[in-house]
């Protein structure tokens, strides 16, 4: 796990990338290395006249010796690689590569990645890696650079055009320090974040001049011609076909694949712990690890809020007792949040959805204090296994499309059995999938929400080309649940959750691993019939719950509510100690043209004086103001 930085220059120039690497030190505090190269000259490790500069800061997880130093070079001196991430099946790949005549100088996964790409070619190699990665590979013979990102975008990889050429980085901030980078914000993404909390998808960012390599993508840069980046996919989630399989056989395969994922993700030369919320997903990771390793010391890290009404302490204790773990608990208070909030916003690099991110931040902070540099986390399970309430609406819509009206009625009635579900809300979700465009005005009335809230400057967004209509009515023409799962994985949920995970963990030099997110496991789950994901009785994650039977405590498998890392956001935002900070941020919105300043003040006056249900929008406003002023140096 590391930070990587790369400069590709239009013209050979003497550069020093050490300041950029220093800004990524938190991602890799154990080692640092750089390469400066231009055609016809010897590669240098110190600043020199160059056409390419590659650098890496290393967090040592696999092969803790100096042999794992990066940039790493092939024996013949042709290839140089910088890698951020881990490829967990490196031992199996290494054995196969040795059978093809390759020899190895290190025990690192980086050398396996390097030789796999050389031996099999990039597209085949990337398809065979199980893990998370962002990499840049310099071919000094063909004078090109290969870049790639893992199938789900677990590891970040940003790039930009600047006045001297092209640059790549593990984080946004180093790129913004380059001359000539367009720092204007993208109006469409500003609207999507402020109105819906959507961010992090595709190849864009909130900053106009900074892009990101999309998940499951790779490309080549020809150093002799135009240094443009052409990207292509090596895996496409939309090409997964449904299979015919019995439920019992599916359960068995899910169990086998998940246990194999846990086994692979436990590979490490340093201690490994687990983030535990008390829900099914994180509990399954902890219990599966104990199932596989009966005598191993396992550390769990959990968040418990001040408010007992949103606490999962009971469930956490049930799992830690069952798995006999060494349990660590964090209990952040409003004063902690006040102290850390601006640093948290800076760490994240872009705005984020809610203060629950702070609970996760505190967990990684605790893991670092306890000397556990690797944590396993349940991120991705809700997106691939239908864990959100909105997926119930998508499943209901699927049944209606299939003309299974009786099944749809039974599913709708079953929602009453779940304390965290609102039947009318699920009906709304289904209508959004089913209603034709001609019923748009009716659906607006049905949802009964102000589509463009007054605190947003509608005229400003309109003048910047925003088409509001496209955001308020989307329906699917195929299988609604499958479409919703794909959208959640690729667009609306998982991308920003993985960003939160990466920045929070890397802020404390922690490698966070997500064993639900392997190409094989996700492909198999998406190939199953919809009723295996959400059953006729409304039970979500149905096939996975059954697969975990005998491993996870029965009471956890039978849970019918869902909390996760819920923070007392309203209390934190309204706390008197935080008021002056947030009030200052609100006043700064007067200079941000996408806001109606008077309406923003009115909105927050209502919030601070009265009760309000829509807390997320308040946080998004505050978060965006702080981010905007970090970009433009006004705070």
Q: Using pLDDT thresholds of 50, 70 and 90, give the confidence band for residue 494.
A: very high
Backbone angles phi, psi at 614, to 5 degrees: -85, 75
Q: What is the pLDDT of residue 561?
A: 75
Backbone angles phi, psi at 617, to 5 degrees: -65, -35
Average pLDDT over the chain, rounded to whole?
A: 91
Which of 606, 575, 609 minimizes the C-alpha distance to 306? 575
Question: Is a pLDDT exceeding 70 seen at residue 121?
Answer: yes
Q: Is the pTM of this model over 0.85?
A: yes
**Close Cβ partners of 416 (under 8 Å, ≥ 6 residues apart):** 423
Q: What is the pLDDT of residue 412?
A: 93
Comparing 392 with 224, which gets the higher pLDDT?
392
**Close Cβ partners of 635 (under 8 Å, ≥ 6 residues apart):** 342, 588, 626, 629
- The percentage of residues in the chain with a pLDDT greater than 90, rounded to a whole number, is 76
Q: Using pLDDT thresholds of 50, 70 and 90, give the confidence band for residue 635.
A: very low
Give 174-196 pLDDT, tens digit per residue: 999 999 999 999 999 999 999 98
Comparing 442 with 508, which gets the higher pLDDT?
508
For residue 248, how many other CB atoms are within 10 A of its CB? Answer: 10
Cα–Cα–Cα angle for 344, 173, 5, rounded to 5 degrees: 125
Q: What is the pLDDT of residue 604?
A: 87
Q: What is the pLDDT of residue 441?
A: 47
Structure tokens at 560: 């019918």
Measured between alpha carbons, how far is 272 from 265 in angstroms, rounded to an integer? 9
For residue 1, how many other CB atoms are within 10 A of its CB? Answer: 28
Q: What is the pLDDT of residue 423?
A: 87
Q: What is the pLDDT of residue 420?
A: 80
Q: What is the pLDDT of residue 277?
A: 94
Give all domains of the chain, ordered by start, each with its CATH number.
Answer: 2-236 (3.60.20.10), 240-325+347-384+494-557 (3.40.50.620), 389-435+475-492 (no CATH), 439-469+568-635 (no CATH)
Q: Give me the count of residues in the chain.
A: 635
Q: What is the pLDDT of residue 69?
A: 95
- The percentage of residues in the chain with a pLDDT greater than 70, rounded to a whole number, is 94
Question: Is a pLDDT exceeding 80 seen at residue 576?
Answer: no
Contact of 32 with 16, CB cutoff 8 Å = no
Give 62-113 pLDDT, tens digit per residue: 999 999 999 999 999 999 999 999 999 999 999 999 999 999 999 999 999 9
**Close Cβ partners of 236 (under 8 Å, ≥ 6 residues apart):** 216
Structure tokens at 575: 């706390």
Give 530-574 pLDDT, tens digit per residue: 999 999 999 999 999 999 999 999 999 998 777 667 788 877 887
Measured between alpha carbons, how far is 44 from 25 in angstroms, rounded to an integer? 21
For residue 66, how many other CB atoms are within 10 A of its CB? Answer: 9
Give 299-356 pLDDT, tens digit per residue: 999 999 887 778 899 999 999 999 999 999 999 988 888 889 999 999 999 999 888 9
Give 15-38 pLDDT, tens digit per residue: 999 999 999 999 999 999 999 999
Q: Using pLDDT thresholds of 50, 70 and 90, give the confidence band for residue 433.
A: confident
Q: What is the pLDDT of residue 309?
A: 77
Contact of 372 with 508, CB cutoff 8 Å = no
Which among 216-230, 375-389, 443-457 has the top mean pLDDT?
375-389
Query: 435 to each of 299, 422, 475, how far by Cα in Å?
Result: 49, 20, 7
Question: Is a pLDDT exceeding 60 seen at residue 440?
Answer: no
Q: What is the mean pLDDT of residues 440-447?
A: 46
Q: What is the pLDDT of residue 19?
A: 97
Q: What is the pLDDT of residue 534?
A: 97
Question: Is a pLDDT exceeding 80 seen at residue 449?
Answer: no
Which of 328, 332, 361 minimizes the C-alpha distance to 503? 361
Measured between alpha carbons, how far is 111 from 83 in angstroms, rounded to an integer? 10
Q: What is the pLDDT of residue 606?
A: 81
Question: Is a pLDDT exceeding 80 seen at residue 451?
Answer: no
Q: Using pLDDT thresholds of 50, 70 and 90, give the confidence band for residue 476.
A: very low
Contact of 2 with 83, CB cutoff 8 Å = yes
Q: What is the mean pLDDT of residues 607-622?
A: 76
């Amino acid at each position: 796990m590391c930070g990587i930085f790369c400069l590709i220059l239009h013209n050979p120039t003497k550069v020093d990338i050490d300041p950029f690497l220093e800004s990524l030190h938190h991602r890799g505090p154990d080692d640092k290395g750089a390469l400066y190269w231009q055609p016809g000259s010897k590669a240098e490790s110190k600043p020199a006249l160059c056409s390419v500069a590659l650098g890496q800061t290393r967090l040592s997880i696999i092969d803790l010796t100096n042999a794992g130093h990066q940039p790493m070079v092939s024996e013949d001196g042709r290839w140089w690689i910088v890698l951020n991430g881990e490829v967990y099946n490196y031992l199996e790949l290494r054995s196969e590569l040795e059978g093809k005549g390759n020899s190895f100088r290190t025990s690192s996964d980086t050398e396996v990645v390097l030789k796999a790409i050389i031996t099999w070619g990039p597209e085949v190699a990337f398809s065979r890696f199980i893990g998370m990665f962002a990499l840049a590979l310099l071919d000094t013979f063909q004078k090109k650079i290969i870049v790639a990102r893992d199938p789900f975008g677990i590891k970040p990889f940003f790039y930009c055009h600047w006045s001297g050429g092209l640059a790549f980085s593990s984080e946004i901030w180093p790129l913004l320090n380059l001359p000539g980078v367009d720092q204007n914000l993208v109006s469409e993404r500003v609207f999507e974040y402020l109105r819906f909390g959507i961010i992090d998808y595709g190849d864009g960012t909130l900053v106009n001049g900074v892009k990101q390599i999309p998940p499951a993508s790779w490309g080549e840069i020809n150093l002799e011609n135009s240094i443009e980046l052409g990207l292509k996919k090596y895996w496409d989630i939309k090409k997964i076909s449904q299979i015919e399989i019995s439920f019992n056989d599916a359960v068995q395969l899910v169990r086998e694949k998940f246990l194999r994922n846990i086994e692979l993700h436990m590979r490490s030369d340093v201690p490994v712990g687990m983030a535990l919320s008390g829900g099914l997903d994180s509990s399954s990771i902890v219990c599966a690890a104990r199932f596989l390793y009966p005598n191993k010391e396992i550390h769990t890290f959990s968040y418990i809020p001040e408010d007992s009404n949103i606490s999962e302490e009971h469930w956490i204790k049930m799992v830690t007792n069952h798995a006999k773990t060494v349990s660590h608990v964090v209990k952040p208070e409003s004063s902690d949040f006040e102290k850390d909030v601006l640093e948290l916003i800076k760490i994240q690099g872009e705005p984020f959805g809610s203060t629950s991110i702070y609970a996760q931040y505190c967990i990684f902070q605790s893991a670092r204090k306890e000397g556990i540099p690797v944590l396993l986390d349940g991120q991705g399970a809700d997106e691939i296994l239908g864990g959100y309430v909105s997926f119930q609406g998508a499943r209901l819509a699927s049944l209606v499309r299939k003309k299974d009206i009786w099944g749809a009625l039974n599913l709708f009635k079953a929602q009453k059995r779940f304390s965290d579900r609102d039947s009318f809300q699920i009906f709304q979700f289904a209508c959004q999938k089913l209603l034709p465009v001609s019923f748009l005005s009716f659906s607006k009335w049905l949802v009964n929400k102000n589509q463009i809230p007054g605190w947003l400057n509608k005229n400003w967004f309109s003048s910047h080309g925003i088409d509001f209509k496209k955001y308020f009515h989307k329906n699917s023409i195929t299988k609604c649940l499958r479409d919703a799962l794909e959208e959640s994985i690729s667009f609306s949920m998982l991308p920003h959750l993985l960003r939160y995970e990466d920045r929070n963990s890397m802020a404390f030099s922690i490698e966070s691993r997500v064993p639900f997110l392997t190409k094989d496991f996700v492909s198999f789950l998406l190939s199953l019939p919809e009723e295996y994901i959400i059953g006729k009785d409304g039970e979500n994650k149905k096939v996975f719950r059954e697969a975990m039977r005998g491993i996870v405590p029965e009471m956890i498998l039978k849970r019918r509510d869902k909390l996760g890392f819920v923070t007392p956001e309203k209390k934190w935002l309204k706390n008197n100690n935080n008021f002056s900070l947030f009030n200052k941020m609100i006043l700064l919105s007067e200079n941000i043209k996408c806001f109606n300043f008077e309406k923003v003040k009115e909105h927050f006056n209502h919030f601070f004086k009265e009760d309000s249900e829509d807390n997320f929008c308040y946080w998004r406003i505050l978060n965006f103001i702080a981010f905007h002023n970090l970009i433009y140096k006004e705070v």
